[in-house]
Structure 1
Amino acid sequence: MTSIQRAIALGLAATVLQALMLVAFAWPAVNLAPRDLPIAVAGPQSAQVTQRLHETSPGAFEISTLTDAEAARTALTDQEIYGAIVTGEGAPRVMIASAASPAVAQQLTALAQQFSGAPAAVEDVVATAPDDPRGAGFGSMVLPLVMAGIAAGVLLTLLVPALGARLAGLLTFGIAGGLLSTLVFHSWLSIVPGGFLELAAIAGLAGFSVAAAIVGLAAVLGRAGIGLGALTMLLVGNPFSAATSAPELLPQPWGTLGQLCPPGAAASLLRSVAYFDGAGAARPLTVLLIWAAGGVALLGVGAVRARRSPGQIVEPDRATVAA
């Protein structure tokens, strides 16, 4: 292939990548809608409200019936539901947890107004941080964490030949990156409340798992591993992370798949620890640990291969490199 042919091929490949990124980022945004969204109804008119919800919005909500407002408040703080419509004397009122999803909170508030025909009384049981009332800052944190993890993984792969040294670089990035990023979004911008060290550990684990996935894939697959890891995080992990919405608002199975990638798991884990005292943290924590351990395991596979071929290790930009 000549230089001109190679240049044209790369230009076409970049065009396809551009189109894929537009689809990945724009398509979820224009298709946000409740899909089996967990909510509750409470009070003496629960049956009527439930029936009306099923009639007006079939398939939109997964509705549970609770005894009263106190039970709804407990379910909200335990992250079992996103909101509740409480009936009784007078117009229904809505209870929300905007920290779980400002987008869902807005939708449920509008829904309650449809029932009452007037502005509904709203109780925000678990509110977002005062300096980030709409959750915009929280949603904007995900992409920098992903991009930094990708950059760390690519640079360590390209510039550090020894696989053991790459692991040291990953650990350094995870610890230092977690501390510094938390200084920014917690101590300076006050986007996320909670304990500094806990949030730093989550941010560090998120960055580490992204970088480890790329380093590990590159150790096994070479240059293709960098592309596979980076594109997975950019085209699947980030746009379907639900950091600005909720997994149940995204088209399925993408909402679920997004929670199985580091960006979505990191956003969910940060929410759980910062706002809900760890309720619902087990699953996203497990996802991040699996990605981190998987990346390290792949790096170990690359190290074993290097030992079997003395003096050589797999590099993404050349066939062999002196160890």
Structure 2
Amino acid sequence: MDLVAYVATAPRRGETVTGRAFRTVPGGKGANQAVAAARSGGSVTMIGAVGDDDFGVRLRASLAGDGVDTGGLRTVEGESGTAHIVVDDDGGNAIVVVPGANGTVDGLADGDERRIAAADALLLQLEIPLGGVLAGARAAHEHGVRVVLTPAPAQPLPPELLAVTDLLVPNEHEAAVLTGKSDPCDAASALLALVPEVVVTLGEKGSLYAVRDAEPVHVPAPRVKAEDTTAAGDTFVGALAVAGGEGRTMPDALAWASAASALSVQRPGASASMPHRTETDAFAATLHGSRTPS
């Protein structure tokens, strides 16, 4: 659950500031990507865990309300995961994640491998233990399912996870943490030694797509006024997975995902800000050279 405080300027260490608004919004990187993919037209199943608290009830209902299959969503004793977010008037954010029930997802449960095997793609993030991420990735790899990994929160990735990852989607900061290279092109090049495809998201500058034995492709983002950038990256990944599953080329898929992300940053909240497919299609159609998925 995202606990979001809106302020003019984020507080520095030891400083107290007065906020102008507070919202409690269903979130979490996995759930955000699930909602983004579902609203983009995908058929989505969520694997994860919530606590047996009130937040857990709300989170499950929120996913189901967006058409996400929650059959793989466990309920465990204790608190659900929370993210404590401060959003400033420039749309920037700072986030503290408390894992809660997410910390119990250290492997696959009964039925999870079947759910993964039935998918076109498995979207993974690092807000659950690496053991759970690796188990899911290995199951997907064994069944020929595309593994898309968002390495956030950023941390060193074990070689055995990278070996079964098809597409890595870090932002600029995460790419720099993983490679020690601040330039996105250099970071993407270094990451291609570890995985076959990389997309580095660049915020308002768009995204950079790199694949082995080809020149990187930069896809610009639409110019919009950002109100809240929370979950912009998750919106992008969810839409990208759907566009890719529909057979679009990567440049086209990236442009469409950028359109979805651009819509999301103009609205407050995480999953609440994510556009539905009709909205993304309409917005993408207004952009120069864009086409909606067939």
TM-score, normalised via structure 2 length: 0.31
Question: Larger strand proportion, structure 1 or 2?
Answer: 2
